Amino acid sequence: MKNIFAYLWSYFKQHKGRYTVVVTFMLVASAMYVAPTYLIRLFIDAILQDDFNHGTLLFYTGLFLGSILVAYLTEFVWNYYLFIGSYDMQRKLRGEMMGHFLKMSPPFYHRFRTGDLMTRANDDVQVMGMTIGYGLMVFLNTSVYLAFIVGMMAVTVSWKLTLIALIPMPFLAYFIFKWGSLVDAKFTEAQNAVSEMNSEVLEIIDGIRVVRAFGLESATTSQFNEKTGETLAKNNEVSEIDSRFGPLITILLAISFVMSFGAGAFLVAKQEITVGAMVSFQVYLGMVVWPMISAGDLVNVMQQGAASWRRISEVLHTGDGLEKDGQHKLATVDTFRFQQFSFRYPESSRPVLNAVDLTIAKGDIIGIVGKTGSGKTTLLRQFGHHYPYSDQVPFINEHLLTDYQTDDLRQKFAEVPQEHTLFSRTIRENLLFGDANATEEQLWQALETACFAAEVREMKDGLETMVGEKGVSLSGGQKQRLSLARAFLRNSEFLLLDDALSAVDAKTEQSIIENLRNLEQSPTLVIITHRLSAITQANKIIVLEDGGIIQRGRHAELITQPGWYQEQYHHQQIKGGGVHV
């Protein structure tokens, strides 16, 4: 709980002007809300003392209406600024979380599922907004407003009667804090269940074609219903605890009413208080109902806020385990070198790459081939420092890669992965992710290089064609070429292609490679492929097996040497793969 108080306090200090207004106007509003009750007492006593006339009526009526008007205006002001703060905190937290998501590398996303992150960035942030909005309002009502009421009861009526009326309150405090601790634990479980459910929804939507292809709609529905049932049960537990507060408060306040009424009648009989004071005391006691109910709400809100803040804080304070960012600027990449390089993923003890030696010079075309699972994609991931290095670190310009600033380093590499990520926007907007300032001419040039311009021109809306979610309206080959064009726009020194030409025919593949070689500033190409036709012109080809290099050389050399490459070459020749020396 102290962690959320520390965060809220730091937020209050950042916006002390806003919350000074909130507290000041809250104090005025509280005073104005209890003022009419005191006026009622004076009004009744004036009648009983036969000191009531037309002037007295107008005077009290004016004070009454004035206090109500001031109470309304001040309540409006402090509530307005209070809930501005609520929405501002949500905006701030969502911005912090999105900024953190964008900085994190794959190890972070291995730990948190997408649905879990969505729940924390949406539901938990909303709970935090409720904590600083509704929660602070309830806190002020429970503390400041209640203090005004109790103070008026003790000062203007009788401190003895006030003590009698407050006798049941310690019992209320005991149960509030006893049950409040349960709310924290149960709400955390409920939010975790919601995270799991959201992750299930995303996975089902992403894999809907597989579900339908295997006829698993009913089974998937049953499994999801079980998940929603678990979520419902956990939320019902939270609701059950929440529901305990209302009846308890009602019963204890009823006891307080009875006790104070009996004691008040006795004090009136002894003429220690007036009838007007007795009536006003009962009205004050009625006003206590809302702050006392709010006390139960306050505990619930704060405990839920504490649980949500722990979940948000866990994300914000979880890194990706990468080595500390270097300090050197990287002007250009002249050489990139792996020297006896080995690597294993953080969650695994099995090495994926073993003693790899490879030097890449500016302008080279490097081909990487091998069996499925031989470590090709893993080797490509080492260029942009996406995972923490295990034993060795690659060299750039004969300096350790980790000596350079990571953001600066990644600007030098453009990668087209196996899975093509397209956004549910237009072709133009997807291209502009490569270069937000690209001109119309540059966009079309990138499409020409990717051999996709002619097809885009034939589309009814051209560059304004919506590609649909994940590029659903495009074919596999069109997705690949759009992803390639987007990467070309970056004009990065290194272009990393991870089987990025697999969905195009051999002729188009050759055209794209040739277009890249003919660019005015041709990038250094690193190509992972299963089709050897893509790397016939490569300066260097390496064959990986079990994470190690088993063959290296040019295409013309490798097809004459017994081994995997020669076997694959003959196999593709027989299948009509179009591989030529």
Question: What CATH code is carried by the domain that includes residue 123?
Answer: 1.20.1560.10
Residue 471 has pLDDT above 90, yes or no: no
Strand 353-361 to 524-528 pairing:
unpaired
Percent residues over pLDDT 70 in the chain: 97
Enter the DSSP assignment of 177. Answer: H
Helix H segments across 328-472? 376-381, 406-410, 427-432, 440-449, 453-458
Amino acid identity, position 293? I
Final residue of a structural domain among 316, 346, 366: 316
User: What CA–CA distances, in Å, run from 34 to 152, 156, 287, 553, 561?
Assistant: 8, 11, 9, 90, 96
Tell me: the pLDDT tens digits for 487-498? Answer: 988 888 899 998
Q: Could you tell me if residue 437 is inside a domain?
A: no
Q: Is the pLDDT of residue 351 over 70?
A: yes
Task: Flag whether 85 is in a domain.
Answer: yes
Residue whose token pair is 């609520």: 86
Residue 537 belongs to a domain: yes
Give the β-pairing of 494-498 and 399-400: unpaired
Question: What number of CA atoms fall less than 13 Å from residue 390's CA on the CB side?
Answer: 19
Q: Say if residue 207's pLDDT is above 90.
A: no
Residue 48 has pLDDT above 80, yes or no: no
User: Which pLDDT band holds residue 1 (cuts at 50, 70, 90)?
Assistant: low
- When pLDDT is cut at 50, 70 and 90, the band that residue 261 belongs to is confident
Give me the pLDDT at residue 58, please: 85
Look at residue 356 in the predicted model and tell me its pLDDT.
93
Q: Around Cβ 421, how many Cβ atoms within 10 Å?
A: 12
Same domain, 305 and 341: no
pLDDT of residue 580: 47
The residue among 316, 343, 369 that closes a domain is: 316
Whether 241 and 366 map to the same domain: the answer is no
User: Which one of 293, 316, 339 terminates a domain?
Assistant: 316
Q: Judge whether residue 484 has pLDDT over 80.
A: yes
Residue 35 located in a structural domain: yes
Lowest-confidence pick of 282-291, 311-320, 411-420, 557-566: 282-291
Assess contact for 448 and 515: CB atoms under 8 A: yes
Q: In what order do the strands lie in the sheet with 540-545?
A: 413-416, 494-498, 524-528, 365-370, 540-545, 548-553
Here the CATH number for the domain that contains residue 375 is: 3.40.50.300
279 compared with 539, residue with greater pLDDT: 539
Q: Is residue 132 part of a domain?
A: yes
98-109: average pLDDT? 89
> Strands across the sheet with 353-361, in order?
353-361, 335-343, 395-396, 399-400
Q: Are strands 395-396 and 365-370 parallel, antiparallel or unpaired?
A: unpaired
CA 247, CA 493: separation in Å to the nearest integer? 70
- Does 221 have pLDDT greater than 80? yes
Q: Is 194 exposed, middle or buried (0-12, 13-18, 19+ CB in 10 A)?
A: buried
> What is the crossing angle of helices 289-316 and 217-269, to 10°?
140
Q: What is the DSSP letter of 418?
A: S
User: Residues 287, 150: contact at Cβ < 8 Å?
Assistant: no
φ/ψ of 553, rounded to 5, equals: 145, -170
**Which of 247-251, 445-449, 577-581: highest mean pLDDT?**
445-449
pLDDT > 80? residue 289: no
In a domain, 208, yes or no: yes
Please give the residue range of the domain that contains residue 69: 2-316
User: What average pLDDT does the segment 49-75 reach?
Assistant: 83
| Residue-wise pLDDT tens digits, 520-541 | 678 899 999 888 888 888 999 9
Return the pLDDT at 555. Answer: 92
Q: Within this chain, do residues 339 and 302 fall inside the same structural domain, yes or no?
A: no
Mean local confidence (pLDDT), 57-70: 86
Q: What is the mean pLDDT of residues 109-122?
A: 87
Confidence of residue 576 (pLDDT cuts 50, 70, 90): low
- The pLDDT of residue 473 is above 80: no
